[in-house]
Amino acid sequence: MNTPQLPAEIKLIRESMSVTRYVLPKRNLGAAQKFGWAPIGIGLFITLFMFFWMSGPISNGLHSSGLGRWLSIGFGLMGLPGLALGLGLLTLGIVILTNISHAEIVVGEGLIVAIEQIGLIAIRRKRLVTELRQFVIRKGGMPVKDNHGGVNILVPELALLEAATNGGKSFWLAPAYPHDLLRPLADVLAASLSLGRQSTILEHTAPVIEVIEREAGETETDIAVPKPAKTDITCQTDPHGLAIAIPPKGLWKGSQGLFAFSLFWNGFMAVFTTLMMKGHPPLPVYLFIALFWAIGIFMLVVAINMAKRKVMIAVANNLLAYRVTGPFKTTEQKIPLDTINTIQVGPSGMEVNDRPVMELQIIPKSGKKIGLLSNRSLEEQEWLAYSLRQTLKLQLAH
């Protein structure tokens, strides 16, 4: 068998006897560079808005004294996440517009590390080499899911190299490069890592890592997802279908941290409002305070609803039925199986501590997605999504 060779554009650096770095060239995004203006415009608007929003309470705090001084400054600093978002979008737009980014891959000491180098900033993702199953080259662009469960293809003239793991998950190694550059790189990585895994002292010989190619929006056949060891979800199957019962998780675990954050938010607002009322502020300040009280109360209601609701899902007689029973209302629906495109795990659109809250999503062939179980762990969501997909296939086959 011929030994794969790296293209001349990719630099190979031996950092030690066991660590190798593959440095890819600077990207050439071509016509896609013009899309950098979109995040620049949005980022500039958010940055300016947050700057002026924060300057008011911080300026008032600097000109006051006592506890009110620090509370006012603290209130203004709550805008820092929004300011960071605006600056991040600005940076992304500049990166796209100026083509200053490139990818690097480091292999060694049992790890594979994907590095996205943006000027002086390096973003790293790492996995154990023993978790790798295959390298996938996505031809025709990079698939990105939207909020409705659909897939958008970015830079269709370029390709993407990603690594798939044994758990069915994948992560990007080198996005937005020509196919002719990524294919030999994937072959070199697969050959070297497969050899390294065979020489490792393991209880069983590790399988060889393969390289496959797919179109940007193409998916592979489902890989079995086992039931999580620690779960209180009951799942019963029989020849006629599937029944799933998901009990409430409670305020602390079931709200994904939103209940604790809403208590902090509303507690801060209670102290802040008390201090502001002593100074008899003008009407606009009352409206400003009311807005943030509304946000805090909304978060508290959402947290209680997430924590206290129970869900029943059943698949039988060519129908998928679900019922969500919460403290405020009960929702139920029956969906014909032939109208369902897929069932997957995806972002709910809500974030806690700047991290997206994931949910089980029923994606219809037309119409809006249905999101469930955002208060459950990712492992439980992926297990249920896999179990439901398999049942749907069996039901539709009969």
Q: Give pLDDT tens digits for 319-365.
A: 999 999 988 888 999 999 989 888 888 777 776 665 667 888 898 88
The pLDDT of residue 207 is: 53
Choose among 389, 393, 328: nearest CA to 361.
389
Residues 120-175 have pLDDT tens digits of 778 888 888 888 888 988 887 766 665 444 556 666 778 889 888 775 677 889 88
CB-based contacts of 381, cutoff 8 Å, min separation 6? 345, 358, 359, 360, 373
- Tokens in use for 324? 């969500």
Q: Show me where the domains of the chain are located.
A: 11-29+99-215, 34-98, 234-248+309-397, 253-307
pLDDT at position 99 over 80: no
Are 102 and 27 in contact by the 8 Å Cβ rule? The answer is yes
Compute how many other C-beta atoms are within 10 angstroms of the C-beta atom of residue 304: 19
What is d(CA 171, CA 263) in angstroms, rounded to the nearest whole number? 35
Choose among 236, 182, 234: nearest CA to 211.
182
Are 45 and 60 in contact by the 8 Å Cβ rule? The answer is no
Whole-model pTM: value is: 0.51
Mean pLDDT of 104-133: 86
pLDDT at position 29 over 80: no
Alpha helices in the chain, H assignment, sequence order: 37-62, 66-77, 80-98, 179-198, 251-254, 258-278, 283-308, 378-397
Q: What is the mean pLDDT of the chain?
A: 81
pLDDT at position 227 over 50: yes
Q: What is the CATH number of domain 11-29+99-215?
A: 2.30.29
Q: Which residue's structure tokens are 């697969």?
A: 190
What is d(CA 384, CA 372) in angstroms, rounded to the nearest whole number? 11
pLDDT at position 255 over 80: no
Of 188-197, 213-222, 276-285, the poorest mean pLDDT is in 213-222
Confirm or reject CATH 1.10.12 for domain 234-248+309-397, answering yes or no. no
The pLDDT of residue 329 is: 85
The pLDDT of residue 311 is: 92
The pLDDT of residue 150 is: 52
Q: Which residue has the higher pLDDT, 212 or 137?
A: 137
Q: How confident is the model at residue 203 (pLDDT cuts 50, 70, 90)?
A: very low
